[in-house]
Amino acid sequence: MLKIMTPGPVQVPEKVRLARSKPTTNPDLDLSFYDFYKTLCERIGNLVKQTSNYETLILSGEGILGLEAACVSLIEPGDRVLVLDNGIFGKGFEDFVKMYGGEAVLFSSDYKKGIDADLLKAYLDKDSNFKCATLVHCDTPTGVLNDIAKISAILKSYNILTICDSVSCSFGEHIDLTEESIDILCMASQKVVSAPPGLTILTVSNTAVETMIKRKTPISSYYLSILTYKGYYEKKWFPYTMPISDIYGLEAAIEIIEEDSSIITRHRNIANATRAAITASGLSLYLENDYSSTVTVINVPQGLTASQITTYMKDNYAILIAGCFDFLSEKVIRIGHMGENANAADVEETLTALDKTFYNLGVSLNCKLSEYFKAEFSKANKS
Ligand SMILES: *Cc1c(COP(=O)(O)O)cnc(C)c1O
C-alpha cells in the first residue's frame, strides 16, 4: 500500500476508518443526531477557543466548499473585497470574489514570506473601504505561514471582516479566536484532522451572520449558504441530509486531537528537524521564512523535475510525496507532515527513500537526510 506523505489528504488512522463503518441512523429524523452534531461542532469550536460570539458548523463537501460558502454568503455584487495574496490559494480567492459579483482588490506581496503587517497597515491607511478581506493561514503550495492574529487585528481596526482559510494548518498551528479577529474560519477534514476528504468545517462569528442577514440581495446559492444553517438545532432541520458516516469519522479524528496535548509542539519539532536536514544536505527550501509546521517545500535540484522525484519515490519505495501546480509546477517537491503524517517514523522513512531517490537520480547530498532528521528531532525532544 502507498504511504501518503502529501500535504493533504493525509493518512487516516484506523480509529477514524472504523468509526466511519458504524451503523447509521437517519440524520434528519432521528433527533439524537442533532445533539451529536451540535456537540461535535462545539468540541471543534473549543479546539480553536471559540467564544459565545461564534458558532461552528460542519458542511458536506471538501475544503474548497467552505471557502466558496464564506464568499457567497458574505459578498454581494459591488462589494469591495481585499484579497491578501502571498500564495496560490491567497490569489485564488480572487476568482470566488469575482464569481459572486464582488470587486476583488489584490494586496500582493512576496510569495517567499508571510504578509508584512506594517505594509498592510500602510496600505489600509490610504484605502480601507472594504467589506471583508480574505486571508490564508498556511498557503500549502509554498507552505508559507501568515500571522493571522496580527493581520486580522489590523483588518478589524479598519472595520473589515476576515475570511481565513486555515484548511491546511488548523490544529497543527496555534489558533485562538480569543486572540484573533476572524469572522469566518475555514477548516476541513483531510489535512491535520486526518479524516478522508469530504467535510468542511466553518467557525462563523455573529458579526458575519448579522452581515449576511442585512444583505440587500439574497445569497445566490442554497447549498453554499451559511444562513440556511441558522437555527438548525432549534428547528431540528438541516438544509440537506448530513453525511453521517463522514461525521462519525470526523468525531473520532477530533477525539484524537483533543487527547493529544502536544500536537502543536510535535508538528513544530517535526517541521524544524525536516528543514534542518534539507538545509544541511545542500538542498534548498522554497521559502525564506515564515514556515508552516505542516508542510515542507523543497526546491527541485537543477537538471531534475518534480515528477522524476515523486514517481521514483512512488514506484520504488511506495511513498507518495507531492509536486506542485501553477507556477511551481515541476519546480518543488512537498512533504506533508501534518496530522497522522506528523510522526518521526514516517518522516524518517520518507527521508530515507528520498536519500536513495536522490542518489539514484545522480544528486549527491552533503549528508543523509534521514540521519540528520533523526538526530535533530531527538535533540528537540530532549530539550
Ligand atoms: C487543501 C486546501 C484547501 C482545500 O482544497 P483542495 O481541493 O483539497 O486542494 C483549501 N485551502 C488550502 C490552503 C488547502 O491547503
Beta strands in 189-300 (DSSP E): 199-205, 295-299
Closest to 132 in 3D by CA, of 111, 116, 114, 152: 152
Q: How far apart are the first and last CA of the chain?
A: 36
Task: Say how far apart CA 30 and CA 324 lie, in whole Å.
Answer: 44
Q: Which three cell numbers stand for residue 159?
A: 472595520
Angle subtended at Cα 365 by Cα 315 and Cα 353, rounded to the nearest 5 degrees: 25
User: In angstroms, what CA-CA distances link 345 with 138, 330, 371, 373, 374?
Assistant: 24, 27, 12, 11, 9
- Residues 181-207 pLDDT 10s: 999 999 999 999 999 999 999 999 999
Question: 194 alpha carbon to ligand 1 midpoint, in Å?
Answer: 14
The answer to whether the bond into 243 is cis (omega within 30° of 0) is no
What's residue 125's pLDDT? 98
- Residue 383, C-beta contacts closer than 8 angstroms, at least 6 positions apart: none
Ligand 1 touching residue 10 (CB < 6 A): no
What's residue 140's pLDDT? 98
What's residue 82's pLDDT? 98
Question: 264 alpha carbon to ligand 1 midpoint, in Å?
Answer: 20
pLDDT band at 335 (very low <50, low <70, confident <90, very high): very high
- The atom number, within ligand 1, closest to the CA of 168 reads 15
Ligand 1 touching residue 92 (CB < 6 A): no
Whether 311 and 189 have beta carbons less than 8 Å apart is answered as no
Phi/psi at 114 (nearest 5 deg)? -65, 165
- Residues 47-82 pLDDT 10s: 999 999 999 999 999 999 999 999 999 999 999 999
Predicted confidence (pLDDT) at residue 383 exceeds the cutoff of 80: no
- Residues 13-41 pLDDT 10s: 999 999 999 999 999 999 999 999 999 99
Ligand 1 touching residue 187 (CB < 6 A): no
Whether 47 and 176 have beta carbons less than 8 Å apart is answered as no
Beta strands in 113-175 (DSSP E): 132-136, 138-139, 144-145, 161-165
- The atom number, within ligand 1, closest to the CA of 63 reads 4
Predicted confidence (pLDDT) at residue 304 exceeds the cutoff of 80: yes
Predicted confidence (pLDDT) at residue 298 exceeds the cutoff of 80: yes
What's residue 234's pLDDT? 98
Task: Say how far apart CA 248 and CA 33 lie, in whole Å.
Answer: 11
Task: Say how far apart CA 196 and CA 250 lie, in whole Å.
Answer: 9
- Residues 232-256 pLDDT 10s: 999 999 999 999 999 999 999 999 9
- The atom number, within ligand 1, closest to the CA of 136 reads 13
What's residue 242's pLDDT? 98
What's residue 381's pLDDT? 83
Phi/psi at 105 (nearest 5 deg)? -115, 120
What is the model's pTM?
0.98
Question: 142 alpha carbon to ligand 1 midpoint, in Å?
Answer: 12
- The atom number, within ligand 1, closest to the CA of 67 reads 10
Among 67, 139, 167, say which to mutate for ligand 1: greatest number of ligand atoms within 8 Å of CB.
167
Q: What is the average per-residue pLDDT within 110-138?
A: 98
Q: What is the average per-residue pLDDT within 83-109?
A: 98
> In 3-state terms, the chain is what percent helix, strand and coil (to 5)?
45, 15, 40
What is the per-residue DSSP string for 209-240?
HHHHHT-SS--S-STT-GGGGTTHHHHT--SS
Ligand 1 touching residue 103 (CB < 6 A): no
Question: 188 alpha carbon to ligand 1 midpoint, in Å?
Answer: 8
- Residue 320, C-beta contacts closer than 8 angstroms, at least 6 positions apart: 2, 3, 4, 5, 6, 310, 313, 314
Task: Say how far apart CA 314 and CA 4 lie, in whole Å.
Answer: 9
Using DSSP, how many helices (H) and how many strands (E) does the chain show?
Answer: 13, 13
What's residue 382's pLDDT? 81
Q: What is the average per-residue pLDDT within 112-130?
A: 98
What's residue 138's pLDDT? 98
Work out the mean pLDDT of the chain and round it to a whole number.
98
Ligand 1 touching residue 102 (CB < 6 A): no
Ligand 1 touching residue 168 (CB < 6 A): yes
- Report the range of poorest mean pLDDT among 303-312, 324-333, 373-382: 373-382
Ligand 1 touching residue 70 (CB < 6 A): no
Whether 276 and 373 have beta carbons less than 8 Å apart is answered as yes
Ligand 1 touching residue 165 (CB < 6 A): yes
- Tell me which residue has its CA closest to atom 11 in ligand 1: 167
Question: 66 alpha carbon to ligand 1 midpoint, in Å?
Answer: 10
Question: 8 alpha carbon to ligand 1 midpoint, in Å?
Answer: 8
- Estimate the crossing angle of helix 63-74 against helix 88-99, to 10 degrees: 50
Per cent of the chain over pLDDT 70 is 100
Q: Scanning the structure block, which residue is given the C-alpha cell 512533504?
A: 335
Among 10, 59, 64, 86, say which to mutate for ligand 1: greatest number of ligand atoms within 8 Å of CB.
64
Predicted confidence (pLDDT) at residue 46 exceeds the cutoff of 80: yes
